[in-house]
Structure 1
Amino acid sequence: MFSEKIRKIEFDVSSGAIQVALNALDLLRSFSETSKSETCKDFVENFSEFGRALFLTRPSMASVQNLVAQIVFEVNHLEEVNLIEVRRFVTSRIEEISNQSVNAVRKSAEWAANLINNSDNIATCSHSSTICRTFELAKEQGKIFKVMVAESRTADGKFRYGCVLANFLESLKIPVEVFLDRKIYRYVPKTNCVLVGADSVLVDGSIINGSPTYGVAVEAEDSGVPFYSVCETSKVNTLSYLGKNVEAKKGFDLVPSNLITGVVSEKGILPTSALIEVMEEKSKFYKSFNIECC
């Protein structure tokens, strides 16, 4: 039963990174509630093993790794309690972490919405729940703007992330136009700024996000158009901080920091030094998976 649900997490192409992370936490909660373990020791071992399996599903999605590693770490460091209390802790703590993540999305979007002005043309690509919320908030603030979206077609051509975003914007009556990936570049110079999400923010300030983010970033740089990545601090890639090699999988782009005007988080626009501090704080969670600095 759980192996199939893990596969759904691994191959989910329709959800944004934070939703995938929340789904992973929900699966951990379900595992806790149905576990057959009869002792705390067995429960913690089985919970940690299941957490590791989830941790490995989405190497490009830092939020999945960070949130899963956090709850596994906290369960492993509980003071002596009985099994009932451990299960209760898992349920309540996962709910708390999930709520914090949702609030972080909202706050990040609030900061990003401030970058949008009346009559702006905004370019974006791929699909991000944080970007969706950003445009929604800007609309609620009474701003009138247009969004130009790259269709963001997957490598196999079966899914178009940009169209998911465009459908959402149309439901809000926000003017939107979808372009073929190879044609979006010519329209970037006509925009006021580029707003994209991120699946990961690496230790050097670069980001990993769905294609064609790199091409859009290059065109923005060449045209003098500000390029912002909007994402919660749960998307910092702690593995990169720990010296591990992190690569963009097929269908994803690595965008170097010199092409990025700023990373907009729930804490505002953060410099690389502040992002590294967040990674350092989260690195302790990875010890439960025996992952430490090289």
Structure 2
Amino acid sequence: MESIEERLLTVCNDRDHGSHWIVREAISILYDLATEKTSSPEESMQRLYDAAQKLVRSHPAMAALAGATKRILDTPGGLSEKAASAARLREEVDSATEHIAEYACPVLQGTLMTHSLSGTVLDVLVACKAQIERVIVLEGRPRYEGRTLAQLLVKQGNVKVTLITDAQADIFLSQCQAVVVGADTVLANGDVINKAGTALLAWAARGHKVPFYVLCETLKISSRTWSGDLAQLEEKEAGEVMEEPIEGVTTRNFYFDLTVSRLITSIITERGPMGRREIKQLLSSY
């Protein structure tokens, strides 16, 4: 069995899972740190705070991670109260997908297209499989997580899947009734930060007049707005794109991009569909 430190390192270094998995694992780690009995309460509390800081720094594009850790750490009281908060939050995360599916299934029918590996999207597509004819999956360079999603859709839902390169999306969009993606962060104005390539797909969907849906938990909604700072999009090693460098050529590898809200038909959450107005109302209630 992995130690807490090993699990923390795995989550901090993860590049293959969606934010749903990362956030749930982070909550579980913080819960275990708050309940472990091998250290003094003071040491355990310090480890809890240190782990939370490492998690947030490791995935700056994921608002849900910052939101989840803040909610746990801001819980009044000691370790037991913070552990109880983590347990409640984990239950909310686990139940959110079922509610998202209830709102999303009426609009996810026929042939759909998706991009990146989102645990939320996977679960919702499997839940709605009776009305889905086919899912066209972009393979998701440079780590090809779309291939994993394609396998999981077949294995978990026996869904018919077509796997294509990212560059072929426009060719197949005319066959689709909708595009559906996840989100790493929903900004205060309804813009979405997600896997690089999402914005291009949204523009292409607009050109084909294909609805573009984002599925995510409200935990991913942030009070932040886009600052223009590309650091929010997490640039990684160029070697993932080009293993053997080409002399005189600069290779870039941003993991995320920004999809503006006007390209998004609806953001479907566990509380129902949301647009800019509903997001503003939600943030003002906090």
TM-score (norm 2): 0.84
Letter in 2 for 1:21: V
Letter in 2 for 1:192: Q
Task: Indicate the residue corresponding to 1:192 in structure 2.
Answer: 177
Task: Indicate the residue corresponding to 2:70 in structure 1.
Answer: 69
Using the alignment, how far apart are the partners of 1:57 and 1:192 within structure 2?
Answer: 36
Task: Indicate the residue corresponding to 1:292 in structure 2.
Answer: none
Using the alignment, how far apart are the partners of 1:221 and 1:255 within structure 2?
Answer: 12
Q: Is the 8 A contact 1:126 1:210 kept in 2?
A: yes
Q: Tell me by how many angstroms 1:208 deviates.
A: 0.9
Using the alignment, how far apart are the partners of 1:24 and 1:179 within structure 2?
Answer: 32
Letter in 1 for 2:160: P
Alignment CA distance shift 1:277-1:73 (3 Å): farther
Residue 273 in structure 1 maps to residue 277 in structure 2: yes
Q: Is the 8 A contact 2:111 2:132 kept in 1?
A: no
Task: Indicate the residue corresponding to 1:82 in structure 2.
Answer: none
Cα shift readout 1:67-123 (whole Å, capped 9, x = no counterpart): 11100010xx22xxxxxxx33333332221101111112211221112123xx1111
Q: Cα RMSD (Å) of the superposition? A: 2.3
Task: Indicate the residue corresponding to 2:196 in structure 1.
Answer: 211
Match of 2:95, SS state, is helix
Q: Is the 8 A contact 2:191 2:261 kept in 1?
A: yes
Q: Tell me by how many angstroms 1:237 deviates.
A: 2.2
Q: Is the 8 A contact 2:73 2:82 kept in 1?
A: no
Residue 112 in structure 1 maps to residue 96 in structure 2: no
Task: Indicate the residue corresponding to 2:154 in structure 1.
Answer: 170
Q: Is the 8 A contact 2:8 2:51 kept in 1?
A: no
Q: Tell me by how many angstroms 1:219 deviates.
A: 0.6
Unaligned ranges ≥5, structure 2 = 235-253
Letter in 2 for 1:37: S
Task: Indicate the residue corresponding to 2:218 in structure 1.
Answer: 233
Q: Tell me by how many angstroms 1:46 deviates.
A: 4.8
Q: Where in structure 2 are the equivalents of 1:1-294 lying within 5 Å?
A: 4-32=6-34, 33-34=36-37, 36-39=39-42, 44-74=45-75, 77-78=76-77, 86-117=78-109, 120-139=110-129, 142-154=130-142, 159-171=143-155, 172-240=157-225, 247-249=232-234, 250-281=254-285
Alignment CA distance shift 1:191-1:70 (3 Å): same
Match of 1:134, SS state, is helix
Q: Tell me by how many angstroms 1:235 deviates.
A: 0.8
Q: Is the 8 A contact 1:66 1:238 kept in 2?
A: no
Q: Which moved more, 1:263-272 or 1:46-55?
A: 46-55
TM-score (norm 1): 0.81
Task: Indicate the residue corresponding to 1:285 in structure 2.
Answer: none
Q: Is the 8 A contact 1:108 1:231 kept in 2?
A: yes
Letter in 1 for 2:39: K
Q: Tell me by how many angstroms 1:56 deviates.
A: 1.8
Match of 1:29, SS state, is helix
Q: Tell me by how many angstroms 1:150 deviates.
A: 0.6
Q: Is the 8 A contact 1:106 1:130 kept in 2?
A: no
Using the alignment, how far apart are the partners of 1:43 and 1:173 within structure 2?
Answer: 45
Q: Is the 8 A contact 1:149 1:176 kept in 2?
A: yes
Cα shift readout 1:210-237 (whole Å, capped 9, x = no counterpart): 1321111111001111101111101112
Using the alignment, how far apart are the partners of 1:3 and 1:43 within structure 2?
Answer: 13
Using the alignment, how far apart are the partners of 1:69 and 1:166 within structure 2?
Answer: 34
Q: Is the 8 A contact 1:153 1:160 kept in 2?
A: yes
Alignment CA distance shift 1:114-1:67 (3 Å): same
Cα shift readout 1:244-276 (whole Å, capped 9, x = no counterpart): 967322121211111111111111111212223
Q: Is the 8 A contact 2:111 2:136 kept in 1?
A: yes
Q: Is the 8 A contact 1:16 1:129 kept in 2?
A: yes
Using the alignment, how far apart are the partners of 2:85 and 2:228 within structure 1?
Answer: 28
How many matched pairs? 262
Q: Is the 8 A contact 1:238 1:280 kept in 2?
A: no
